[in-house]
Amino acid sequence: MPSNYRGRLAPSPTGLLHIGHARTFWIAAQRAIESRGTLILRNEDLDPQRSRAEFARAMIEDLRWLGIRWSEGPDVGGPYGAYSQSERRAHYLEAWRRLREGGFLYPCTCSRKDLALAASAPNDADNDDEPVYPGTCRERKDAADLTEPAGVNWRFRVPEGEVVEFADLNLGRQRYVAGSDFGDFLVWRRDDVPAYQLAVVVDDAAMRITEIVRGADLLKSTARQLLLMRALSHSDRAYVNLAYADRGHGGSGYASPDYFHCELVRDATGARLAKRHDALSIRHLRESGLTPEKVLEMAGWP
């Protein structure tokens, strides 16, 4: 009899999985097994420019080769599908509508160049890709006039100065200040692609995920996603609470899954292993004759 634990593997098919991914996914799989829970595979192929079907096939093969097993996913189906984000647009659109109607969003027409000029500090390479948005379009009043998201960027208005705290099961208490650690972030792109933050929150709720295991590079995104979850549950209280009602979270504001962020795998010089290190792709290591055990050992497991 499986427990209520539901975890997920959520790779993007924009390249080959590398040993940094292997470690995180292995930990996610072990935690699901230890909890006698359910593990799902979600194919995060939202970006049509960067996602490739051959990488999606490769990631499924490589995860299986490592010995990771899931019981719901794009290849095996399940009760909360579709399990590929490119097939879930209706869910994201519904969330976009709710947020817009709740007054949480505004359209932003700043160019990349405007944003680059406004960026005050260089980004911390370890953490985040996105400079704090300077707020140029914040006071726009035309959100209600736009009934479809395409054509402009849409940003979530963060509550300036609010402290977002959460207890990470691996890294302990985390604390971020909205408006200074991160700014108004994208939820929908002008090329009509839902942004990562929105898609993840919508999918984790819809797929009844109870624990999120992922890399520490996403800690700050967790703070953003907690604000999104709350906004979605305010505009319709049932939205998030429904997902977690069977965990006894119902009724008390918004509920979130648990978080377990994994330390990032680094090379001998302390630099983070990035996707572009082709030589460290699981595929390459496998073809060069290494066993799954050896690859996991290289990834720092246990």
Site residues (vs Zn ion, CB under 5 A): 108, 110, 136-137
Residue with smaller CB distance to Zn ion, 113 or 173: 113
Dihedral sign for Cα 224, 225, 226, 227, please: positive
For Zn ion, the closer CB: 17 or 110: 110
Nearest-approach distance from CB 139 to Zn ion, in angstroms? 11
Nearer to Zn ion, 157 or 220 (CB): 157
Residue 185 or residue 260: which is nearer to Zn ion going by CB? 185
Distance linking the first and last C-alpha atoms of the chain: 28
Closer to Zn ion by Cβ: residue 106 or 244: 106
Please report how close the Cβ of residue 132 comes to Zn ion at its closest, in angstroms: 13
Shortest spacing between CB 193 and Zn ion, in angstroms: 18
DSSP string of the chain, one letter each residue: ---S-EEEE---SSS--BHHHHHHHHHHHHHHHHTT-EEEE-B----TTT--HHHHHHHHHHHHHHT---SBBTTTB-TT---BGGG-HHHHHHHHHHHHHTT-EEEE---HHHHHHH--S---TTT-S-PPP--TTTT---GGG--S-TTSEEEE---TT-EEEEEETTTEEEEEEBTTTB-SEEEE-TTS-B-HHHHHHHHHHHTT--EEEEEGGGHHHHHHHHHHHHHHHHHSTHHHHHHHGGGT-TTSS----EEEEEPPPB-TTSPBP-TT-GGGBHHHHHHTT--HHHHHHHTT--
Minimum distance of Zn ion from residue 197's CB (angstroms): 17
In the complex with Zn ion, the residue whose CB is nearer, 105 or 108, is 108
| Least distance between Zn ion and beta carbon 158 (Å) | 14
Beta carbon nearer to Zn ion, 4 or 109: 109
CB of 93 to Zn ion, least distance (A): 22
Tell me how far, at minimum, the Cβ of 194 lies from Zn ion, in Å: 18
Q: Closest Cα to residue 195, out of 96, 56, 94, 53?
A: 96
Q: Shortest gap between Cβ of 189 and Zn ion (angstroms)?
A: 13
Q: Are strands 211-215 and 258-262 parallel, antiparallel or unpaired?
A: parallel
Task: CB nearer to Zn ion: give 108 or 228.
Answer: 108
